[in-house]
Amino acid sequence: MSLLEVKNLQVSYGGIQAVKGIDFHIEQGELVTLIGANGAGKTTTLKTLVGMVKKSGGSIVYNGKETAGIASYNFVRNGLVMVPEGRGIFGKLTVEENLKMGAYYRNDNAAIQAETERVYELFPRLKERQKQLAGTLSGGEQQMVAMGRAMLSKPKLLLLDEPSMGLAPIIVQKIFEIIQMVAAEGVTMLLVEQNAKLALEISQRGYVMESGKITMSGNARDLLDDERVRNAYLGE
């Protein structure tokens, strides 16, 4: 059984259909990427998965259960966690306080402390800046905070929306290295990313989304080698 099974998903905004009956699945332990141009419906798809946007049709089955009717704030308790586009950190809280917000529903304090130290190992800059207001950090450091906060929610499925957006190339490389490390520790991931080359290089499988529809899918390496993908998304 797939960890996530999406069938005929449809999402409409005021009469405009943003997502037009898409099917995809994610297996336990996979790192899967969803690529496509701006406006293709990628972010809408992620928001729908976590209940921030209501679907107009189709089904979403997560961990064996249909998600319809589950309040969005309960998804985190069930291990379905999203790092949103734009990071969504609390700028007036410190780095440490932001990380604690990821564990707000937990009471296993010893495990929380150990996992916080693990986040600091992955992101040494955050350790150095743990008492600093998150709003004063660089864009790359804020992305690290957002990812660290998500990790403290103990995700079973982590959704990442454009983690490289607006970051310098050297920071992007670091973020993608961390994504690979987290995936290697067993966290299942769905990555939405405009840097198609980097995303496909670290993923097992990929989907291509165009104008609200999934038009291609398959092994990530095969997609990287596909002439249509190379022409449309890799600038080749």
Q: What structural domains and CATH numbers belong to the chain?
A: 1-78+202-236 (3.40.50.300)
pLDDT recorded at residue 236: 58
pLDDT given for residue 230 in this prediction: 93
Phi and psi, residue 217, nearest 5°: -155, 160
Determine contact, residues 157/4, Cβ cutoff 8 Å: yes
3-state secondary structure of 68: coil
pLDDT confidence of residue 194: 86
- Supply angle C-alpha 57, 60, 62, rounded to 5: 170
Residues of the chain below pLDDT 50: none
**What value, to the nearest 5°, has the Cα angle with vertex 84 and ends 38 and 54?**
80
CB 59 within 8 A of CB 231: no
For 24-67, write each residue's pLDDT tens digit: 999 999 999 999 998 899 999 999 999 999 999 999 999 999 99
Encode pLDDT of 73-94 as tens digits: 889 999 999 998 877 899 999 9
pLDDT at 71: 82
Look at residue 116 in the predicted model and tell me its pLDDT: 96
Tell me which residue of 73, 34, 67 sits closest to 210, measured CA to CA: 34
